[in-house]
Chains A and B, each alone.
Chain A
Amino acid sequence: MPAVQETIDQVRQIDVDQYKYGFETIIETDKAPKGLSEDIIRFISAKKQEPEWMLEWRLAAYRRWLTMEEPSWARVDYPQIDFQDLYYYSAPKTAAGPKTLDEVDPELLATYEKLGIPLREQEMLAGVQQSKIAVDAVFDSVSVVTTFKEELKKAGVIFMSISEALREHPELVRKYIGSVVPTSDNFYATLNSAVFTDGSFVYVPKGVRCPMELSTYFRINDQNTGQFERTLIICEEGAYVSYLEGCTAPQRDENQLHAAVVELVALDDAEIKYSTVQNWYPGDKEGKGGIYNFVTKRGDCRGRNSKISWTQVETGSAITWKYPSCILRGDNSRGEFYSIAVSNGHQQIDSGTKMLHLGKNTSSRIISKGISAGQSNNTYRGQVSAHRKAANARNFTQCDSLLIGDRCGAHTVPYIEAKNASAQFEHEATTSKISDDQLFYCLARGIPEEEAIALIVNGFVKDVIQQLPMEFAVEAQKLIGISLEGSVG
């Protein structure tokens, strides 16, 4: 269906040239020399005062990476990346380890303020309408500040940068790092394992419901800097955490690389909710500049009755290559993936999810809405598989695509693999068709078809938006601001 005028206007409003986070912060930085070698990895590891095993782990990953080739199966097209022409470490020059916010460079605080990220706890506390969110802000290669640490500590929740965690809780990091995304996983994950500089670490102990939302803001500032962060979230038995992630970068003519790894581990009865609003600089109208976003995100539902839910709103980046996945290992575990991906200008998105059903009675749900405009290409690529022993595996997948203009492309590439009779998979990719059952339900109650369809689709979009925590939902809605009504035939 052609898009309605209202939708077209709204897309224009959020056109790539309107990128409002494109400013650069002039700040003194501490950089490692350009290029990648074992020495650089030793340098990063030494800077972070990491234990010996971590250095060995990084070096092993690096040696493996040297033998790997860049994957080419995704529907994205970009010039060869020169991995030797990047800075792998860049940190704002400040006195070692700010104890309070007052010790943080005011320029940095101003940057985050411009981004609308409230780092100052007192402001947060004073704010009447705002709920409390603990923030870990990552600037280029290092985490600059983590708020509400003390309060979280009282609940037993560990929330700090991964570099700190490596120093303070090495046994926890060692136990879990690489257990979901092994160093050999894929080209970019292996590179990340070798050179990751920072990221967040969350540990929620048994039975604890994390008292506030945790959030990380990633900001790439420096020129020619690759950002490689690593996030590790562990939820012990019966614990719950909701984690939000936001990303921005300055407007630059050259492309910048971002290759992150996120690992989630949910044990028995635990639940992790991971939300992302990704708004890296997408490049200008001619497709110049922008972030190359090659991200490996995976959650492991290791325990019985565990649940991992990914929600993403993707509006930025020149290239997105990202498949937040769930390994449903524990019996009765559940995986969810809600996604809205908007591409405009010359953006290329190849994103989706993997739901790997291994345990018994596992279920998963995928709702993906792709909207492409300009000359962009938007691909949904998802895999749903049920192992022989995954009795009663259930999946429901729905992918809707909306094209605005005749120079963009929308693609759907699902992989559905069932290996036992009790698996029940449903996949729907459509711009006009909705589950017949639902439609029938509405029609049987006297609702005209068009209204029924609008009702159902609206319900679905709300589903994705509603998965986001309040603060993010508002931001996401502002970013998207697109009615999906035009997608109904």
Chain B
Amino acid sequence: MNIQSKPTLTPAEQGLIDAFVAKVSDLPGDAELTAHRDRLIAQLTETGLPSRRIEAWHYTDLRTLLKSVPGPQPAGAADALPPIAPNALILPLLQGTHVQPAAADGLTCTSLQERLLAGGASETLQPLGRDDAIGMINSAFVTDGYVMSLDSEAELAPILELQAVQDGGQAHGRFEFEANAASRATILERHARSGDSAGLTSSVSVLKLAENADLTWIILQDRGADDVHLGQLRAELAEGARLRLFVINTGGHLVRQEVVVKVEGEGAHFDLRAINLLAGQGHTDVTLSIDHSAPHTTSEEVVRNVVLDRARGVFQGQIRVAREAQKTDAQMACNTLLLTDEGEFDAKPELEIFADDVICAHGATVIDLDPAHLFYLTARGISEKVARQLLINGFVDELLDELDNEELADVLKRRVEDWLDRHV
């Protein structure tokens, strides 16, 4: 049936609108920004949250899945956590509010709040089109975050750990990072939970990589089992730039992590390694969109998913190759271990190709553990539980080997092992 009518507001949509009404006078920004926020909320009121009828949200029907939203106020104060990255420089965003901009050689950092208050910020707070619900919610509600810039040729020695910690309520933060020409850095964007209350987060990270910049960005989303996390990472890559993105999802009740990459400069390279560990009744969606618009660009994505219990996982990956982007090499793989009959995994890898001299491929598999492998291990006296953990660990763990920083890789691997210990 194709009957379309204006939707009546769901409790979650109404909750967002109420939260906006309650918070609007406290949201930082000038009159222009307030008007911009008003327009975005008016649009939400009119179109509602995206449903499965919107192609980009086909498997994550926010109208149905987002039953309600917590009120805007947090349940308690969130504290900064000890860093997990060795020798890290921490930038905490507690309950969506900055603490104090840190400094390091070559890195300048200000709070986003400062920029919002300075005026003229509405141009930078734009959703990526009509269906971009995350961009819309974040732009309407964003209160704070960090704006960072790394000097040309600078190499940031410590790992920068961006810590978004939340205890209930709502938090809408934003990180902007500009890597100037030939700069290098490793950044860990960590989303964690403190306290016992369920919370809603929207988080947008905006990355700009100038010529030959080399950035490793890790998103570690480890929120509570009843939290809602709506994340988005946007990146633009100039000539010769290189972005290595790692996404690790180990928590959350309803998670959507979008990655929108524009490979715009000749010779630029993007790659993604994603590990999604899903258990309980969670719903985790990783949606990726890569635009190759310059020749000789490359991208390579490997997504590994483990689905337990009644969890549902989604991967959507779209690679677009424009006419000008000849000699593009784009490869994408999505492999899933679906380990229960109650779980579900949906994959939609997409290729959209307009250039004729390219190598593009995608592969997707969904399988259970191989009984022969299990037998091999159990025949050697290893308990089935440990055997399963070993096999699953082997399946995801190798992606972390590609991280240049061994110490950090070890820390992340331990977190994966801990998760397996708790859930398998």
- Report whether chain A binds chain B: yes
Interfacial residues, chain A to chain B (CB-CB below 8 A): 1-3, 67-71, 73, 184, 186-187, 388, 401, 403-433, 489
Known pairs A68-B1, A187-B2, A424-B366; A417 contacts B344 (CB<8 A): yes
Please measure, in the bound complex, the distance between the C-alpha atom of A116 and the C-alpha atom of B355, giving whole angstroms.
38
Residues of A within 8 A of B340 (CB): 421
Please measure, in the bound complex, the distance between the C-alpha atom of A405 and the C-alpha atom of B55, giving whole angstroms.
29
- Chain B nearest Cβ from A426, distance in angstroms: 5
Are the CB atoms of A409 and B353 closer together than 8 Å? yes
Are the CB atoms of A414 and B348 closer together than 8 Å? yes
Select from chain A the residue with minimum beta-carbon distance to B360.
A431
Residues of B within 8 A of A408 (CB): 354, 356
- Chain A nearest Cβ from B315, distance in angstroms: 9
Select from chain A the residue with minimum beta-carbon distance to B352.
A411
Please measure, in the bound complex, the distance between the C-alpha atom of A423 and the C-alpha atom of B344, giving whole angstroms.
10
**Interface on chain A toward B: helix, strand, loop, or mixed SS?**
loop
Interface residues of B in 350-379 (CB under 8 A from A): 350-368
Please measure, in the bound complex, the distance between the C-alpha atom of A417 and the C-alpha atom of B349, giving whole angstroms.
12
- Chain A nearest Cβ from B52, distance in angstroms: 12
Contact of A418 among B323, B345, B351 (CB under 8 A): B345
Please measure, in the bound complex, the distance between the C-alpha atom of A282 and the C-alpha atom of B45, giving whole angstroms.
44
B4 interface residue, CB < 8 Å from A?
yes
Please measure, in the bound complex, the distance between the C-alpha atom of A341 and the C-alpha atom of B172, giving whole angstroms.
47
- Chain A nearest Cβ from B397, distance in angstroms: 21
Are the CB atoms of A413 and B348 closer together than 8 Å? yes
Are the CB atoms of B356 and A404 closer together than 8 Å? yes
Q: A408-B354, A409-B352 are in contact. List 9 more A-B contacts (CB 8 A).
A: A401-B353, A403-B356, A406-B354, A412-B351, A418-B344, A422-B368, A428-B363, A429-B362, A431-B360
Known pairs A68-B1, A401-B351; A412 contacts B362 (CB<8 A): yes
B338 interface residue, CB < 8 Å from A?
yes
Please measure, in the bound complex, the distance between the C-alpha atom of A187 and the C-alpha atom of B2, giving whole angstroms.
8
Select from chain B the residue with minimum beta-carbon distance to A413.
B350
B225 interface residue, CB < 8 Å from A?
no
- Chain B nearest Cβ from A407, distance in angstroms: 8
Are the CB atoms of A416 and B346 closer together than 8 Å? yes
- Chain B nearest Cβ from A374, distance in angstroms: 12
Are the CB atoms of A409 and B354 closer together than 8 Å? yes
B159 interface residue, CB < 8 Å from A?
no
Contact of B357 among A2, A68, A73, A420 (CB under 8 A): A2
B31 interface residue, CB < 8 Å from A?
no
Are the CB atoms of B2 and A432 closer together than 8 Å? no
- Chain B nearest Cβ from A40, distance in angstroms: 22
Residues of B within 8 A of A430 (CB): 360-363
Known pairs A68-B3, A69-B2, A416-B346; A431 contacts B366 (CB<8 A): no
Please measure, in the bound complex, the distance between the C-alpha atom of A294 and the C-alpha atom of B326, giving whole angstroms.
33
Please measure, in the bound complex, the distance between the C-alpha atom of A388 and the C-alpha atom of B310, giving whole angstroms.
12
Select from chain A the residue with minimum beta-carbon distance to B353.
A410
B138 interface residue, CB < 8 Å from A?
no
Residues of A within 8 A of B357 (CB): 1-2
Residues of A within 8 A of B343 (CB): 419, 421
Contact of B366 among A68, A409, A423 (CB under 8 A): A423
Known pairs A69-B4, A70-B2, A412-B350; A425 contacts B341 (CB<8 A): no
